[in-house]
Amino acid sequence: MGSKRILIVDNEAYVREVTQISLQIMAGWDVITASSGQEALEKAAIELPDAILLDVMMPDMNGITTCQRLQAQPETQSIPVILMTGQANQSQDLSYATLGIKATVSKPFDPLTLANQIAEILGWELDSQSV
């Protein structure tokens, strides 16, 4: 299987860095990062990642609005989106599902299991040597 390309969107540099290193080391994935919703829209349209890991709470444009705008663009509407949130609950998960969001990952997450979580959510196989 070829390497997957993931776009990580979070306004906190530390979270982007930990997530990027985790996915590169644990799964061998190519990782692109964005620090805002607007930057995510631009990078997603250019890079066409295999999935987007999107923080819910961001200044200017939150993750929900960013997701809605991604779905409104023909070139990005089919990219699966996984939300990262520190405030996950089941009723929110149901409303997120109506927006086409695949799942939520709770923050803080375990960097050692994050790639497995994403792969399981999206039905991807991880290369055995990368785990």
At residue 79, does pLDDT exceed 50?
Answer: yes
pLDDT in tens, 85-105: 887 555 555 566 667 788 889
Q: What is the mean pLDDT of the chain?
A: 89
Does residue 127 belong to any structural domain of this protein? no
Beta bridge partners of residue 85, listed in sequence order = 106
- Cis amide leading into 108 (omega within 30): yes
- Cβ atoms 9, 53 nearer than 8 A: yes
pLDDT in tens, 14-60: 999 999 999 999 999 999 999 999 999 999 999 999 999 999 999 99
Give Cβ neighbours of residue 130 (< 8 Å, ≥ 6 apart).
26, 27, 28, 115
Residue 91 confidence (pLDDT): 52
CATH classification at residue 68: 3.40.50.2300
Does residue 126 belong to any structural domain of this protein? no
Does residue 58 belong to any structural domain of this protein? yes
Residue 62 confidence (pLDDT): 93
Does residue 128 belong to any structural domain of this protein? no
Measured CA to CA, the distance from residue 54 to residue 56 in angstroms comes to 6
| Whether the predicted model's global pTM rises above the 0.85 cut | yes
Domain count, the chain: 1
Domain of 81? 5-121
